[in-house]
Structure 1
Amino acid sequence: MSKAVKVGFGLAVFAVAITAINLRAGVSSLAPVIGQVAESFGVSSSTAGILTSLPGFCFAIMGWLAVPIARRLGLSPTLVAGSVALLVGLAIRPFIDSYLPFFVLTVVLVAGIAVANILLPAWVKEHSRGTNQVRLMMTYTAMLGASGAIGPLSALFFSGSSAWRWALGVWVVPVIVQTIVWAIVLSKTKRDIPSTGVMPDPDELAEASPKANSNPGGSLLKSPTAIAMLLFFGIQSAGAYAQMGWLPAILVEDGVRESTASIALALLGGFNVIGGVLMPWLLSRLNSVVPLPIILGAITT
């Protein structure tokens, strides 16, 4: 039996949009100023570059932790906690003068991003139905792409020795809004434990999929389908964050101005907006989605 929708559609749209717009900006805004950060802290480019690998690691860790936490605390409370982590990381990081605490705060904010990235689609499925659910998912994917597109642009508006601090710190403003909105959402949803099917336990998935796992009740690591999806999404994420983290630095090293490099990364993110809008429409008209990852993978290669 599905639960009644407790959040009005307007509030849901705003909550999803403001959250999605913050899911890439905290990461993509760092790439154009990574050289300035390294110079400010007196570390090598390779040491500073470790920061660009954090999203992948945090997504992997939070992929295992976010679901059990949400099943215990509820989707909305966990999303509030993720928003607070993102807020703390973004608010304090610009005032740091050494690399190690900057690194730790980056881990904190990326963990907050990872929580929202993993749980927001589940929240949409839990708190919307039918056409509204499709609209919310389209909002999510489009704003997610927009986040990657606008994040690098903050580097264009500041100059001087503290430019990187402003370029990173400005993104705390929409995160403040995000935190307030989710506090309002939480007042309506309370402890919204996800329904069965919205976010099943891994063991439940293994038991329910004998075709994918010949040993019911066994680990998903024994499922060829699960392993294939793990590799597919891992490779896709690695490519995306490599571009997001290093494209501006590569261009600058080849003699391109930092402002132009920032625009190039923003343009790359803009294509994600187009994909986010078109893909749900395309998927609804296909009998099989199998050709899509093959075609897109070939194009990427």
Structure 2
Amino acid sequence: MTAVLLVVAIVLVALNLRPALTSIGPLLGTVSAALGISSVTASLVMTLPVLCLGAFGPVAPLLARRMGLPAAAVVGLVMIAIGVVLRGFLGAPGLFAGSLMAGAGIGITGVLLPGVVKQAFPERAGLLTGIYTMALCGGAAVAAGLTAPIAEASGSWTLALGVWAVPAIVAALVWWPSARHLDTRSGHRPAAGTRLLASPLAWSITLYMGLQSSLAYSVFGWLPSILQDRGVSVVTSGLVVSMSLLVQTASALVVPMIAARRRNQQLWVLVIMSATLAGILGMMWGPIATMWPWAVVLGIGQGGSFSLALVMIVLRAGDAMTAARMSGMAQSVGYTLAALGPLAIGMMHEITGGWDSVGWLLTAIGLVALVAGLYAARDRTL
């Protein structure tokens, strides 16, 4: 029963690791108009939280050693709740401050989960990684699909953004009694134990995590605007992204379960990155009538890409502490790299006034991610 409750708690925590990011995309035009900010400034709203994922990733292991992983995760969830509420107050400064706080909370909480899986479920790493990644994608999909309708129904974009504080508080209340028994401070080795910064394998995992995340956050933040410029309504553009994210829940569950059974995951990297690129370019340049099937292809690729990056962290690590530290490196450095994607897209769109150059940029990011993923997927252990 304890294990079941812990799984439920992990799922609830994972559900809150993306709504702060995906809820802003469908309303980006509305928020920008209300606050009088430009495309470049709006791109910072998407970029700064992702930078926080990278900047605060290294903080997570430090908090876990000092107060224990369960308490550190509660701190992260409370930061998420405060951040998403703050975005709707104090104008543009509140929007940026809230986005920063929510991103910091996500950065802390997200880094901790692979260590929990490695410690509590070492023989079911693929299954548990798939379950919490599926929940993560599900939370992203719900926020992407419901935020615009909530804004229309209530007449308030601030309420639509702030409502996502509620599930974060619920997750914290369930997580603490379910996970506080974990002995996450004993046996932690110092950071010098495994020289991750000198490991090509660690860097390949980090690069793959960062580049596939850059594609994901670019889709979260800018795909609704791209579709709206092609004549799709605000609500429909959010629903298209939401459906793609819902498809991710299936591939996020299936891919790590199957891939973890093999010593080498290179074939999976090739398939899912190809699907990701095909989906993005189909949505951007294909006939508008085909956007729904392309959204499905994109969901298959991106759900599989992210879950495979997470499961490779677990599979390549020799123990729970290495997994936590590898997670910290991959997500801190990786998310810092990932933040450059949405920022570059905003700048390119501001300069060119169109989206064609953005399509070529996303293609280049995907191809480099493919190369890094193929290297990381080989059968080796840190």
SS across alignment from 1:193: coil
Any residues of structure 2 matched to 1:64-79 within 5 Å, and which? 64-79=58-73
| Alignment of 1:24 onto 2:18 | yes
Using structure 2 for the length normalisation, give the TM-score.
0.67
Aligned to 1:91: 85
- Say whether residues 1:205 and 2:194 are aligned partners: yes
1:98-113 alignment, distance < 5 Å: 98-113=91-106
Matches within 5 A, 1:1-301: 8-94=2-88, 96-128=89-121, 130-131=123-124, 135-154=127-146, 155-159=148-152, 162-185=155-178, 188-189=180-181, 192-193=184-185, 195-196=187-188, 201-206=190-195, 220-301=196-277
Amino acid in the other structure paired with 2:175 = W
Contact 2:86-2:94 at 8 Å conserved across structures: no
State which drifts further: 260-269 or 147-156.
147-156
1:11 partner amino acid: L
Q: How far is 1:80 from its partner?
A: 0.8
Q: Distance in 2 between matches of 1:144 and 1:118?
A: 13
AA at the equivalent of 2:31: V
Name the SS for the 1:158 alignment partner: helix
More helix by share: 2
Go from structure 1 to structure 2 and tell me whether the alpha carbon gap of 1:126 and 1:161 turns closer, same or farther (over 3 Å shift). same
Inter-CA distance 141–9: structure 2 relative to 1 (3 Å threshold): same
Asked whether the 8 Å contact 2:126–2:260 carries over to 1, the reply is no
Q: Which runs of 5+ in 2 are unaligned?
A: 278-382
RMSD of the alignment, in Å? Answer: 2.3
Query: For residues 190 and 288 of structure 1, do their structure 2 counterparts lie closer, same or farther at Cα, with a shift above 3 Å needed?
Result: closer
- Deviation of 1:223 after TM superposition, in Å, equals 2.5
Q: How far off is 1:161 after superposition?
A: 8.6
CA contact (8 A) 2:60 2:109 kept: no
Partners of 1:157 and 1:20 lie apart in 2 by: 22
Distance in 2 (CA, whole Å) between partners of 1:129 and 1:191 is 15
Q: Which runs of 4+ in 1 moved over 6 A?
A: none
* 8 Å Cα contact 2:78-2:172 kept in structure 1: yes
Aligned identity (percent) is 30
Deviation at 1:48?
A: 1.8
Asked whether the equivalents of residues 121 and 137 of structure 1 are also in contact (C-alpha less than 8 Å), the reply is yes
TM-score (ref. length: structure 1): 0.83
**Paired residues, what number?**
276
CA deviation profile, 1:84-107 (whole Å, cap 9, x unmatched): 11111123332x141112201111
Q: Which amino acid aligns with 1:143?
A: A
| Structure 1: gaps (5+ residues) | 1-6, 207-219
Distance in 2 (CA, whole Å) between partners of 1:137 and 1:229 is: 16
Q: What is the alpha-carbon distance in structure 2 between the residues aligned to residue 111 and residue 265 of structure 1?
A: 24
Contact 2:69–2:185 (Cα < 8 Å) also in 1: yes
Distance 2:75 2:35 in 1: 30
State the match for 2:368 in structure 1.
none
User: Which whole-Å CA distance do the structure 1 matches of 2:14 and 2:153 have between them?
Assistant: 30
The answer to whether the 8 A contact 2:141-2:243 is kept is yes
Partner of 1:214: none
